[in-house]
Structure 1
Amino acid sequence: MSLVAPDPTRTVPLPLRDQADVRDRWLTQRLLDVLPGLMDRAGIDLWIVVGREYNEDPVLATLLPATWLSARRRTILLLHRSDDGVTPAAVSRYPVGQFLPAWTGDTGDTGDTADAGERAQWAEVRRFVEQAGPRRIGIDVSEHFALGDGLSHTEHRLLTEALGPYADRLVSAEQLAVGWLETRLPEEIAALRAMNRLAHEVIAEAFSPVVVTVGTTTALDVAWWIRQRFHDLGVEPWFQPSVLLQRAGVPLVEDRGTLLPAVPYDAVVRPGDLLHCDVGLSSLGLRTDTQRNAYVLRPGETAAPAGLRAALAAANRMQELTAAALVPGRTGNEVLSVARAAAAAEGIDGDVYSHPIGYHGHGAGPAIGQWDQQEGVPGAGDHPVHADTAYALELAVRRPVPEWDDQCVRLGLEEGVALTAAGLEYLDGRQTEFILLPAG
């Protein structure tokens, strides 16, 4: 199974060596074309990103060469904004890809002890700052975004001590870190299209007689098949896939004010069941997040009951209302409020909990609700929506099904979308009809 990627001569997934080439090329382009504007928007002249091996700042991982699977010892990256663009420099014992080497590892002390090496490394950071003379030095500390809060306590202390009087110029790089993580190149969006198509193909195969034997296969079997299928195809999930069942006679149960399915994870799939999956794959340093639904036909049926089809139509309408509300300039909380008000005006009972996606599955950027926070998300929900970003458009509706004695179903949908100057686009379409499984 393969899909067309940014270049029609390539497929997703790519061989690992080709992936590394693509990711390093993207990084160079992002440093040249994306970062200067983000630094100007945040008002930061120098961005210092620090991490130690196996305790990497989440931002640091997105700046390292593709062949670096972690930081090496202590890795310090300095990104200086000047009239000529951004100068990326590395104060590191080892060369760091596209970053200019600002330190050879020499200690200047006899004995070459570990302590001497540490002092020399921080002294080089101080020298760089003195020469650059930045007015505002951004560091990754953030109250609201975990992905922008990667500077550890120890590294913060050592940096502050090394900078001396320049430490007064340290400011939170929250907005810069979020901007860096959420902004997508056109080439990255093209890759996400291919990745979403692959996810949809795997889901279609999972919800088919190839995988599901009605009366024998469990929901948990299907979830594990999806994970194994991704692995066999050369991509990996960023969370354990889940498959949930809803069926007539098993009502939803309340959890923190929200109604959720109550059929056990290991229940056997039966005729008349509604199947729902939530899957996300990783490739090229990017993530997808997808939810789709299938219905198991009862003997004599050729389609899902009208009540279930009406629930899917309501979910599609809620997608449209949320997509219409998702415009640059609004905060995540404003998008949530507008979308929910529009849905309520049309009599749709549902929740919106969409989120940015890119380097991370639940990515940095505006939170547009959470499943248990429908009145807004303090902090992360106050971040504005920007163009050249990607989202998992995630939501659910609740609706009684006449054919199930008016039992309420919760129908969740999640599709990848990109938001650019041209508007919002689905990265590989959206589900408007149930995937149908024969009864046997």
Structure 2
Amino acid sequence: MLHFTHVKVIYLYLLLAICTNSQDSTAIKVPEYHRLPPLREQAAIQDAWRDQRISNIPHILQKYGVDAWLMSQKEYAEDTVFWSLKRATQFSARRRTTQLFFANATEPIKPVYTWIDNTPEVWESLLDVLETQDPKTIAVNVDAEVAFSSGMHAGEYGKIKNRLGRKWNERLVSEPMIAVECIGTMVKDRLPWYRKLQETAWAIIEEGFSERVITPGETTTEDVEWWMRSKIQELNYTTWFQPSVSILDGRDPFENLTTSDQMTTINFGHVLHVDFGVTAMGLNTDTQHLAYVLYPGEDESDIPQGLLNGLKNANRVQDIVKSNMKVGVSGNEILKACLKQMESEGISGRVYSHPIGDWGHSAGTLIGMFNLQDDVPVLGDLPLLHNTYYSVELYAQYFVPERNATMTFYLEEDIYWIGEEEGWDWVYGQQKEFHLVKPPLSDLFRVQGL
């Protein structure tokens, strides 16, 4: 038999549920899933992007005062840059794949040469072209610090030096910004599809952080992670890292947790965090969002004000970072400007933003790292490039009176370069409201054992 108190509670929640449902018609547009085109069409799209990127290489070489750029690799020992310049139907380098690019090719020399060979003839052909064009400097990817510029394997480098001889060895140089800018520059035609990937990532998060997936008191954070992985597979996408779902309770969600810690059960009133990305068509996204698990019958007006203020604080840090990202300025200088402005506005937090695109953590300068908030050696000293994508990744701390605790609000969104006057903008959007898990009234009965 139902106790009078139970009846009263149920009645009140029914009224609240009715009010909540009446407000749903004014909800903001829900992000949509985007299906990928057929594989053949994808390949044509990606190859068009590749051709645009290759056409920009002479300009990059001219910018850094280098006459030629030489890459060479064997199957399964590819140079990092290979993956940004290959055709969509290439799954690895074949035999020995050697590529030579010129800054100012003159007839009869072409601006781009590619040899796929496993005989000594490749070196004879390479030497013939070099003798004809006579480049004074030839860049090779052997930098000791920048990963994207150090892709030539030691054995291949030794082979090249042995085959080219002293004359050409003296002209080999390392210029790390060539590979960085080649990989980091996003051709304009990529943006429409990058938006679709980003919206798809939002859509997966939106559904994953909802009552369609989460049953408070039963669903674990690991359940949601694997639901997201399954959804990615269902859409024929993939990902570059395992989704990470956590309950924000004062612990660092990125620390190495044990299996038992990962099996954390989600419940009413929890603040959820996800770090998530999708991969398709040679592009990667990176997103961190927050959600709130309502009690049955509640709506967004019932979210504690302290949590809303914390999210708003993190949004402010996002805007600070975006506004301080000046092309040509180093990541370390941008980091210093961001932290100074945060301090002046009374905001405590950290900034650790990175380039994205061909790789999840792609080529370009780093604006802080999670554990490096003074400066980032080498990578933080690189200049910020235009025509690239960035993940604005950070956190802000805020004291939440309703929890009597200082909580950390983690956010991450991808941005793209518009132009000199406009600067940067969000690829899809900026999370300004919590995703909401809205349990049905039946969950109240279940929890109360009715």
Q: TM-score, normalised by structure 1?
A: 0.87
Q: What are the equivalent positions in structure 2 for 1:60-71 lying under 5 Å apart?
A: 60-71=82-93
Q: Provide the rounded CA distance (Å) in 1 between the counterparts of 2:341 and 2:92.
A: 45
Q: Which residue of structure 1 aligns with residue 47 of structure 2? A: 24
**Does the 8 Å contact 2:57/2:101 carry over to 1?**
no
Residue 124 (structure 1) shift: 2.3
1:264 alignment counterpart: 261
Shift of 1:118: 3.8
**Within-5 A mapping of 1:32-431:** 32=55, 34-82=56-104, 87-93=111-117, 117-164=118-165, 165-247=167-249, 251-252=250-251, 264-299=261-296, 301-303=298-300, 304-405=303-404, 407-421=405-419, 422-431=422-431
Post-superposition CA distance 1:174-202 (Å, at most 9, x none): 11000000001111122211111111011
Distance 1:346 1:60, change over 3 A: same
Secondary structure of the 2:377 match is coil
Read off the aligned partner of 2:82 and give its amino acid letter: L
How many angstroms apart in 1 are the aligned matches of 2:328 and 2:161? 35
1:47 touches 1:80 (CA, 8 Å); kept in 2? Answer: yes
C-alpha contact 1:189 1:390 (8 A) present in aligned 2:
no
* 1:238 alignment partner, SS class: coil
More strand by share: 1
Q: Is the 8 A contact 1:58 1:150 kept in 2?
A: yes
Paired letter, 1:19: Q
Say which one has the larger Rg: 2
Q: Decide whether aligned partners of structure 1 residues 428 and 298 sit closer, same or farther in structure 2, where only a CA change above 3 A counts.
A: same
Contact 1:398 1:411 in 2 (8 A): yes
The root-mean-square deviation of aligned C-alpha atoms, in Å, is: 2.4
Following superposition, the deviation at residue 224 of structure 1 comes to 0.9
CA contact (8 A) 1:3 1:12 kept: no
Whichever residue aligns with residue 93 of structure 2, its letter is A
Q: Structure 2, unaligned stretches of length 5 or more?
A: 1-29, 444-450
SS at match of 2:73: strand
Partner of 1:109: none
Letter of the 2:202 partner, please give it.
H
Q: Is contact 2:58–2:101 with CA below 8 Å preserved after alignment? A: no
Three-state SS of the structure 1 residue aligned to 2:90 is coil
Partner Cα distance (1:418, 1:86) in 2: 33
Tell me the residue number matched to 1:99.
Answer: none
Structure-2 separation of matches of 1:90 and 1:35: 14
Deviation at 1:253, TM superposition (A): 6.0
Task: Describe the superposition over 1:331-370 as per-residue Cα deviations: whole angstroms up to 9, x where unpaired.
Answer: 1111111111101111111100110011000001011111
Deviation, 1:278, is 0.8
Displacement of 1:300 in angstroms is 5.8
* One-letter identity of the residue aligned with 2:219: T
Task: After TM superposition, give the deviation of residue 144 of structure 1 in Å.
Answer: 2.6
Q: Matched residues in 1 for 2:145 and 2:423: separation?
A: 28
* Partner residue, 2:7: none
Aligned partners of 2:82 and 2:32: how far apart in 1?
30
Q: What number of residue pairs does the alignment pair up?
A: 404
2-structure distance, mates of 1:43, 1:224: 49
**310-319 vs 127-136, which deviates more?**
127-136
- Tell me how far apart the structure 1 counterparts of residues 182 and 394 of structure 2 sit (CA, whole Å): 26
Maintained 8 Å contact 2:105/2:133: no
Q: CA deviation at 1:14?
A: 1.9
**TM-score between both structures, scaled by the size of structure 2:** 0.85
Equivalent residue, structure 2, for 1:97: none
C-alpha change, 1:415 and 1:89, in structure 2 (3 Å) is same
Q: Please tell me whether the aligned partners of residues 335 and 351 of structure 2 are also in contact (alpha carbons under 8 angstroms).
A: yes
Structure in which a larger fraction of residues adopt helix: 2
Question: 1:140–1:151: 8 Å Cα contact kept in structure 2?
Answer: yes
Shift of 1:2: 9.7
Q: Which runs of 5+ in 1 are unaligned?
A: 5-10, 94-116
Give the aligned residue type for 2:361: H
Q: CA deviation at 1:48?
A: 0.8
8 Å Cα contact 2:71-2:152 kept in structure 1: yes
* Percent identity of equivalent pairs: 35
Q: Secondary structure at the residue paired with 2:261?
A: coil
Match of 1:58, SS state, is coil
How many Å apart are 1:408 and its aligned residue?
2.1
CA contact (8 A) 1:35 1:86 kept: no
In structure 1, give the amino acid aligned to 2:44.
D
Residue aligned with 1:393, SS: strand
Residue in structure 2 matched with residue 105 of structure 1 by the alignment:
none
Distance 2:35 2:424 in 1: 23
